[in-house]
Amino acid sequence: MKSGLEIISHPIFKTIGQAADNLNVECYVIGGFVRDQLLNRDCKDIDVVCVGSGIDLAIETARLCNLPEQAVNVFKNFGTAMFRFDEDWELEFVGARKESYDFNSRKPTVEEGSLEDDQNRRDFTINALAVGLNSDNWGKLIDPFEGLKDLESKTIKTPLEPSITFSDDPLRMMRAVRFATQLGFDIESETFEALQNEKERLSIISFERISDELNKIITSNKPSYGFLLLDACGILPIIFPEFVKLKGVDTEEGKGHKDNFYHTLQVLDNITKSTNDLWWRWAAILHDIAKPDTKRFDKKKGWTFHGHEDLGARQVPGIFKRLKLPLNEKMKLVQKLVRLHLRPIALAKEEISDAALRRLLFEAGDDLEALMALCRADITSKNGEKVKRYLKNFDIVEQKLKEVEEKDQIRNFQPVITGEIIMETFDIGPSKEIGIIKIAIREAILEGIIPNDLEKSWDFMLAEGAKLGLYPKGNC
């Protein structure tokens, strides 16, 4: 494991230390940067704490870096300042402080403090490590809570009594699970017990903050681990009850179904291997979310979940709203993927018609790649041969989709006959007949009855208009 001197080998730390000496203040790099350097993880975010004014230290450091004072972003209310260095590095400076909490708020009363006070307020031992930057303590690693030992044993542990730590700031419970997931660490037994005991304290935390931590779990390399931890300590039912409803297997007449909770976690891990996109991963989480509400037992077919894709898509906005996730194009993408996730699977099971492929291309549009990634991830059978067969069929589907797309250019297509053309041709205003004709033209193109060109579509429009008693201007 690296020494304190190796952690601060970059020249910027000498500059910070010189600035601190110029101002005659104690100065340390602390927290995530130290932790990640010891774990050989890349990190360009540097937290600097000093016993004095963090703002003054930031300004002096920027001056020594030949940066103008306006390059420093100052947050006087928080006593912090930050600036970017060499584009990649982000430096944040704060004065050492001690905190005390009111039971009904996670916002502490803050006072100036010592390095020891500042380390005492840290969430976990591995985040309380500090390295001295002054000339008289250059490279000295300060580890009052045996954070090095916890790094070596891969353990998440609070510096002080865990129940107090979590009660003071309940968001730390989400952070405990998040760090365990990102780093592949275990949560120490007393710390985990405190998660179980203090979980109801999350009620004072905004869902924006909770979802921010949840999203960091989801974008980790193995997000299922985080969900299993959240479930085991009882937090998941509090923050995401819809997901917990997926748990369990019902049996009727000796017939059961797979546990959709664990299936969904497998799908999530599967799609993680092919994308870093948060919203593709959310689609994996929600793709079967309506199965508990659509579960039925049929004596002939066994357990069915008819319509769960459509109901699930309708449930997405409500879940996003409650979790304070963005109600924008990202939500619409997740909704689309949930609604369509069975379509490619159906195509992989049957003889594929060009019409079915055209419809899939049209409905998926630019999100076809995401949809196919979700569908591949959705194959979780324990039967290896079955998985290989499905994946081979998906290869065939994707090749045929490519061929149809090259031939028909159907993805995101718009029929050449617009509503304006229909109104002008038949000399009518806005009406339901226009919608009927537009849908008929679109369906004819998707079914391959006519190509999407003006001449064939024009003739088809006239024929459809005649069925509705509509004729071009000047004709009876």
pLDDT tens digit string along 33-73? 999 999 999 988 999 999 999 999 999 999 999 999 899 99
Question: What DSSP designation does 89 have?
Answer: E
Q: Which pLDDT value is given to residue 343?
A: 86
Whether the pLDDT of residue 237 is over 90: the answer is yes
Condensed to tens digits (0 to 9), the pLDDT of residues 435-475 reads 899 888 888 888 888 887 788 888 888 998 889 988 887 66
Q: Does residue 264 form part of some domain?
A: no
Which of 216, 239, 262 lies at the terminal end of a domain, its last residue?
Answer: 239
Return all residues near 128 (Cβ < 8 A) that are at least 6 apart. 30, 31, 119, 122, 143, 144, 145, 147, 159
CATH number where 229 lies: 1.10.110.30
Same domain, 147 and 170: no
Whether the pLDDT of residue 225 is over 60: the answer is yes
- Tell me the mean pLDDT in the region 327-338: 97
Percent of the chain with pLDDT over 90: 62
Q: Which pLDDT value is given to residue 100?
A: 66
Which of 408, 432, 456 lies at the terminal end of a domain, its last residue?
Answer: 408
Percent of the chain with pLDDT over 70: 95
Q: Which of 148, 136, 132 is nearest to 37 (CA)?
A: 148
Q: Does residue 413 form part of some domain?
A: no
Condensed to tens digits (0 to 9), the pLDDT of residues 70-115 reads 999 999 888 899 999 887 889 999 999 886 666 666 676 677 889 9
Q: Which pLDDT value is given to residue 33?
A: 96
CATH number where 75 lies: 3.30.460.10
Same domain, 9 and 147: yes
Q: Kindly report which listed range (2-16, 122-136, 418-432) carries the lowest average pLDDT score.
A: 418-432
Write out the H or E segment, with its range, that includes residue 214: helix 207-218
Distance CA 274, CA 270 (A): 7
474 phi-psi bin (left φ>0, alpha ψ -120 to 50, beta other): left
Question: What DSSP designation does 128 have?
Answer: S
Same domain, 145 and 59: yes
Note whether 286 and 264 are within 8 A (CB): no
Q: Which pLDDT value is given to residue 222?
A: 97
Q: Does residue 260 form part of some domain?
A: no
**pLDDT class of 218 with cuts at 50, 70, 90:** very high
Q: Which pLDDT value is given to residue 109?
A: 65
Same domain, 429 and 301: no
Same domain, 451 and 349: no
Distance CA 441, CA 418 (A): 10
Q: Does residue 266 form part of some domain?
A: no
Same domain, 321 and 439: no
**Which residue did the predictor score with more confidence, 7 or 362?**
7
Q: Does residue 255 form part of some domain?
A: no
Collapsed DSSP state (helix, strand, coil) of residue 137: coil
Distance CA 29, CA 420 (A): 66
DSSP letters for 308-375: HHHHHHHHHHHHHHHTT---SHHHHHHHHHHHHTTHHHHHHHSPPPHHHHHHHHHHHGGGHHHHHHHH
Same domain, 19 and 116: yes
Same domain, 22 and 137: yes
**pLDDT class of 217 with cuts at 50, 70, 90:** very high
Distance CA 397, CA 386 (A): 17
Q: Does residue 475 form part of some domain?
A: no
Encoded tokens for 421: 């053309």
The rounded Cα 372 to chain-centroid distance in angstroms is: 19
Encoded tokens for 196: 């179980």
Q: Which pLDDT value is given to residue 245?
A: 96
Q: Which pLDDT value is given to residue 415?
A: 76
Same domain, 367 and 309: yes
Q: Does residue 263 form part of some domain?
A: no
Number of domains making up the chain:
4
Residue 223, burial from CB neighbour count under 10 angstroms (0-12, 13-18, 19+): buried
Q: Which pLDDT value is given to residue 102?
A: 67
Distance CA 337, CA 127 (A): 38
Same domain, 461 and 373: no
pTM as predicted = 0.85
Q: Beta strand pairing status for 89-95 and 45-51?
A: parallel
Same domain, 142 and 11: yes
Q: Does residue 104 form part of some domain?
A: yes
Mean of the per-residue pLDDT values for the chain?
Answer: 90
Same domain, 118 and 226: no
Q: Which pLDDT value is given to residue 350?
A: 63
Handedness of CA 362, 363, 366, 369 (dihedral sign): negative
Q: For residue 133, count other CB atoms closer than 10 A to its CB.
A: 26
Whether the pLDDT of residue 476 is over 60: the answer is no
Domain extent for 458 = 419-467
The rounded Cα 21 to chain-centroid distance in angstroms is: 43
Residue 65, burial from CB neighbour count under 10 angstroms (0-12, 13-18, 19+): middle
Condensed to tens digits (0 to 9), the pLDDT of residues 272-316 reads 999 999 999 999 999 999 999 999 988 888 888 999 999 999 999
Which of 222, 239, 256 lies at the terminal end of a domain, its last residue?
Answer: 239
Handedness of CA 332, 334, 337, 338 (dihedral sign): negative
Q: How many CA atoms lie within 13 A of 169 on its CB side?
A: 18
Note whether 96 and 114 are within 8 A (CB): yes
